[in-house]
Structure 1
């Protein structure tokens, strides 16, 4: 009895041990709460579990939860057997592999799509440890396109009663939905009733991506003309990251009325003078296209414009100019004005007049003035050179050189270009005076035409006539009046020796000059023959040599040199004759008695001879005083 009870207790103990051991060995599954992946990338979901049976004795199934909350199996894995379920959205895009550990598998999903953003379940069933499951949410992300901003093109008036559209921001094709925030300068903008309205709109594209648009409207103020508006776009990325990107800033045109206007002379800078083209402008401190401007001054008027151009302005245009600004919305008008003064310098006045006639040797004065709105300076000029500074030109002891054109220049130096000038012609009254030409005696070849010039001073302008010694009147080829007289030119053809007279007369007297023209004949030497010219050399035996000169030498020396040489030779021959006559009187060349007939006697040892040399002869020919030739044997 006791043994039976012991056996019963042992069986009960064993049953109790096995029951307790099974409770301790429950299956466990560990999975991440979520897995993030970008659109079109590959997602991997890990399922880690622990059982006593291991991977070989465990059945693993993968499920996903549909949008309606139902579980749909997509994969089955058992020792020696694995397959994806057919007919599911994942049939062709998933696979399951071991992790390399003894207890773990990985679900791989290729080309992730937006519709794959679901909850996935890993279900584990052990033969001894029971069942367990884990869940992971798959989240899909797509970076949106670069955001854009477009501002309104038209201006906005601060007098608008309702809010005006400022611009629109847009970002497209993002997932999850991006967010748009408006900024004015660095301040985020939120909707304020009656002042600011931010109106977003969301579009789900056919691809499932989000496009977001935001429109900003507000009641503008004057300060908004300088404000910068932009948008900030935030979106999500894998790993709980929030990304941000900003648009470029925009400005808006704000119209506000003028409360004050200014007016000025734009051109020319500085003082205005007659003849200038003057530009007058005005501007206001507002920015309203519905404001009209007009400028008035004397007979000048600009309508519907803030600029007035007065061409070739005169002193009559001096005075007040007024600018008007009319607001066409409120019909309020404001105005301002400036005073324009036009400086002037009148034409010069020369006294006694533009022509002054002064008797030779007398004194005269002339004055020059010009009426001006500014201080002036006066100077007198002659032939481009200043002769006196001041209003008065004094001519003392007038001569013909005093005659000429005098220019009076009056300048207002305060204004560039304000200058006037006038001329006065001065004539010096006097009888004609012919300035003696450099050459009045000349030699010219026959048939040559010679131009003769006669420069006559005097006023009234002299009458110039040309004539020859034979009474022939020559016409003047040209005649020019100068400041102090006349220049007359006549042409004469040389036919022989000729004398030409230049006669000048006026009401006060007359003058004349004579030109002597001698016709010279040039003898042309034979070719290669020397030209014999008496030598200026006196030999030691009281003989005079005649040297030969080549034609080339004659050509170089010129006719003047030849004439000089001939004159010298004649003088030497005259001296030689005088010496011979003196010796004859003294009986030095006529024997002892001194009465020897020179025509019969022969030349002695001391006879004076003239030696003739020639390049073509080898002998010297000696001439005695009686002119007879002496043979070489008589020497």
Structure 2
């Protein structure tokens, strides 16, 4: 910025670099002119204010670091000028520097003749390599005439050197031979960034089911090992509480399934430096049986029962009655129902690939019908001695539970009732031939059983 007097003429010039001046701008009361064919043609503008002329330079270059002059002609008031130096700076946004680090130093004192020192890496002879390995040797001749030799190894360590072993070998001449001795091999600590991460499941072994405790481990290949954080794909902004590189999930459910990631602390989420694994928490819901609880059937009818349980894995279903296997698969078919069909049917659903997952359900089947005599015989012929007492039994099954009556005079009847059956016993003292009828009945019908007893005289006399 240059100041001017009112009515003055402005001349803005710069040093040409060879001691001469080159005009780049001129103005008077009637015109403003930016000179052509200069380094600033098209790159400058001048803002004329009341007492100032401001020079603006666009797209500043290193070559613009020079001296600029503003010359003002005040006519009768005379001529005056001012100057300023423009300094140009460049900010370096990227730089690279390779350093050779001192790995070790090997020193031999008071030897004669002069000892030689040789360096080895992993038992291979190490020679100087520009920007990689440099060996500095300092030889001192003592006042006693002996030699002291110090050798320093400077080395550019890389990740591959983490397990490398370095040693130095000292050799010296003796009459008729060369003797050597080695130092102890040393390993250097190499620090390098993490470039890959690995995530794995430590516990449990095999498949995971609901209720398990799951432990996930994470490890990076950097040195020192990075501090890690755990996330899940469904909740990318949630960081799990972990103990070091171990994440513990207790009593997991199916909601804990998903893709888990671990990455070094401080690394952006968009970085590819992360470990990933998908955790599947398997489940088996309670069994659902149709018909539910209990079902009534008529004798001779058919029934189809189903047992299903929602699971994340293939399942297997087995049906049992009275602890005996009666069916396989999700569906149970009952045909031509009889009273023996009645009872509780239990289905067990298991996951073959994860035996700890199992569930069960049941249905109670009731077969309804008219009474049915046990044994199937409708008439029974008996031959008993006169004077003996004969016990006749009659057992009938049915639902509803049947009742039993006898058509015989002078008899004593004993009835024993069960859930769907009745057992009746009658005692008869024979004096003559007898016919006894057992009648079983319920709301569904009746059935009878007849005993024909022939009374015969005994052939044994006291």
Which structure's residues are more often helix, by fraction?
1
Of Structure 1 and Structure 2, the greater strand share is in 2
The structure whose Rg is larger is 1
Q: Which has the higher contact order (CA 8 A, sep 6+)?
A: 2
